[in-house]
Amino acid sequence: MKKISIYDSTLRDGAQAQGISFSVEDKIKIVEKLDSIGIDYIEAGNPGSNPKDLEFFERVKKIDLKNSKIIAFGSTRRVNIPVDEDANVKSLLKADTPAVAIFGKSWGFHVTDILKTTLDENLNMIRDTIAFFKSKDKEVVFDAEHFFDGYKADPEYAMKSLKAASEGGADSLCLCDTNGGTFPDEIYEITSKVVKEFKEDIGIHCHNDTGLAVANSIMAVKAGAVQVQGTMNGYGERIGNANLCTIIPNLQVKCGYNCILEESISDFTSTARYISEIANVMHDERAPYVGKYAFAHKAGMHADAVNKNPTAYEHITPETVGNERLFLMSEVAGRSAVLNFVNTIDSTITKDSPQTKLILEKLKEMEFKGYQYEGAESSFELIIRKILGKYQPHFELKEFKVVVNEPSLSNVNSSAIIKIKVDGQNEITADEGDGPVNALDNALRKALGKFYPQISQIKLTDYKVRVLDSGYATAAKVRVLIESTDGKDVWTTIGVSTDIIEASWQALVDSIEYKLTKDAK
């Protein structure tokens, strides 16, 4: 298997995405996770940009990494400044990493109009900076910024920038599609020419502005690139960077390249979710390979075919990447899809079992009332368990009351009082929150936490409300969907009522009951 070095820049490029800000502790956790799956290079930040990165580089030295090499990132020396006097260069040395990534300009337009210097001085900056770090026994990756735009504008000068890096002693030359506007055929053609021209390892760094970052990265590998840069879950500025969660399975599972530890592929979905949790970003459930719906089936014909032979509608088995097959429950799903879902709870049930008919009738009845279990299979699982006699309630609601406060009279929006019964013991609790649903959630967690400590692991990640019959105005029926996670699994539950608080309560209770039922299996 040909080795492709995976270069992860989640901690730098990924941190440039809107809404993402990693603490030092966050970065340490991500480094340890990436190291455990066999990522070759972890670009961890620019030590010249902020004190937080400097603290991180001090901390990460104490970690015994088994598979990964930490890289500090920075620019070439500034215009007309001796390399050993440049502040950015000094900070890169202070980071004391075994490798550094140096970015320099490969597009003449950026040199003359942005840096405001000459084309020759830019080449000197590249050559001098890389030679300086090689003299300090560092492995050096040269990031040829805007290489593809530069090549299309002036191929000769773009190649000169790579030659300057080669003359400085760079270990690898990474071609950057910084604006994300290059097409796969262009990537292949240009990368092929570079591979033939230089003895150094060639890398690829793509942005996703045209939605082609993954395709472009793979085409570069086909053209001879042996290093792929990207971020986990595709985090990055603007549209994002090349998504390693798609690239790695594509290359390793589909194309036979060696990218990460072979045994780590089966943990890939959980790894992607783990990083989403640390980034505090909702995981993309429609992402290839690692999304919840990557292997989901709804249409009856499709589901029936997958039951007979999964290769009918799946390009790989979900377990290969640590994911699982999902049959979306709806009235159009078909008997076989529903039966397949039921069999995950009780394998003895067949299509002729009386319970199967009861479950199908219940599904149609609930959908008629406005429930929709496509994407809310966790609530449907609870219904199935009740019909099969495999449901044990973990608590009983006695009563609840919600009070919405006048904003001008209170710092909190709402408060809730709740009375539940667990194993014959009553518990009455009150709490506050930003809105009635949040107040109910807080009160319920407080009441149940005494009996079920694992409740603290649950985090509500999404809350959706849809009006089902808008013609009834404020008396309309609403459907509430609540997505929850315990940091490992993600599940969605549903509630329907003409009272939005009641509908929310149904979904909220199902969410907690599902977690407790799952833990009790």
Going along the chain from its start, the domains and CATH numbers come out as: 5-260 (3.20.20.70), 296-388 (no CATH), 396-520 (3.30.160.270)
Averaged pLDDT for residues 150-165: 96
> What does the pLDDT read at residue 332?
52
* Half-sphere exposure in the Cβ direction for 202 (13 Å, CA): 26
Q: What is the DSSP letter of 456?
A: G
Weakest mean pLDDT among 47-61, 278-292, 388-402: 47-61
Measured CA to CA in angstroms, residue 13 lies from 143, 343, 430 at distances of: 13, 44, 44
> What confidence category does residue 323 fall into, taking pLDDT thresholds of 50, 70 and 90?
confident
Cβ atoms within 10 A of the Cβ of 351, count?
Answer: 12
> What does the pLDDT read at residue 334?
57
> What confidence category does residue 188 fall into, taking pLDDT thresholds of 50, 70 and 90?
very high
* CB-count exposure of residue 456 (10 Å: 0-12, 13-18, 19+): exposed
Q: Among 231-245, 434-448, 454-468, which range has the highest average pLDDT?
A: 231-245
3-state secondary structure of 510: helix
Q: What is the DSSP letter of 3?
A: B
> What does the pLDDT read at residue 325?
79
Averaged pLDDT for residues 479-483: 88
More confident residue, 489 or 236: 236
Helical H segments across 375-459, by residue range: 377-388, 436-449
> What does the pLDDT read at residue 486?
85
What residue has token string 């013991």? 425
Averaged pLDDT for residues 348-373: 85
Buried/exposed code over 387-403 (b: 16+ C-beta within 10 A; e: otherwise): bbeebeebbeeeebebe
Averaged pLDDT for residues 339-343: 80
- Measured distance CA(5)–CA(12) in Å, rounded: 18
- Measured distance CA(8)–CA(44) in Å, rounded: 9
- Measured distance CA(111)–CA(104) in Å, rounded: 9
Share of the chain above pLDDT 90, in %: 50
> What confidence category does residue 411 fall into, taking pLDDT thresholds of 50, 70 and 90?
low
> What does the pLDDT read at residue 473?
58
Q: What is the DSSP letter of 98?
A: S
DSSP state letters, 433-454: ESSHHHHHHHHHHHHHHTT-GG
> What does the pLDDT read at residue 435?
82
- pLDDT for 397 beyond 70: yes
> What confidence category does residue 99 fall into, taking pLDDT thresholds of 50, 70 and 90?
very high
- Measured distance CA(242)–CA(87) in Å, rounded: 30
Residues 244-256: tens digit of each pLDDT: 999 999 999 999 9
235 Cα distance to chain centroid: 8
Cβ atoms within 10 A of the Cβ of 517, count?
Answer: 19
- Measured distance CA(342)–CA(279) in Å, rounded: 35
**For residue 143, which amino acid is it?**
D
- pLDDT for 21 beyond 80: yes
Ramachandran category for residue 319: left, alpha or beta (phi over 0 → left; psi -120 to 50 → alpha): alpha
403 Cα distance to chain centroid: 38
Q: What is the DSSP letter of 231?
A: B
132: its two tokens: 């300086």
pTM here is 0.73
Cβ atoms within 10 A of the Cβ of 519, count?
Answer: 12
Q: Strands, DSSP E only, in 334-489?
A: 396-404, 414-422, 425-433, 459-467, 478-485
> What does the pLDDT read at residue 470?
58
- pLDDT for 331 beyond 60: no
> What does the pLDDT read at residue 460?
83
155: its two tokens: 């191929």
> What does the pLDDT read at residue 109?
92
- pLDDT for 214 beyond 80: yes
> What confidence category does residue 149 fall into, taking pLDDT thresholds of 50, 70 and 90?
very high
- Measured distance CA(319)–CA(50) in Å, rounded: 41
3-state secondary structure of 472: helix
Buried/exposed code over 461-493 (b: 16+ C-beta within 10 A; e: otherwise): bebeeeeeeeeeeeeebbbbbbbbbbeeebbbb
* CB-count exposure of residue 334 (10 Å: 0-12, 13-18, 19+): buried
Secondary structure, 3-state, 246-314: HHHHHHHHHCCCECCCHHHHHHHHHHHHHHHHHHCCCCCCCCCCCCCCCCEECCHHHHHHHHHCHHHCC
Weakest mean pLDDT among 256-270, 322-336, 442-456: 322-336
- Mean pLDDT, the chain, rounded, equals 88
Helical H segments across 200-260, by residue range: 213-222, 244-249
> What does the pLDDT read at residue 408?
55
Q: Which of 330, 432, 319, 406 is nearest to 372 (CA)?
A: 330
3-state secondary structure of 369: coil
> What confidence category does residue 49 fall into, taking pLDDT thresholds of 50, 70 and 90?
low
- Bridge partners (DSSP) listed for residue 3: 258
What value, to the nearest 5°, has the Cα angle with vertex 251 and ends 249 and 255? 115
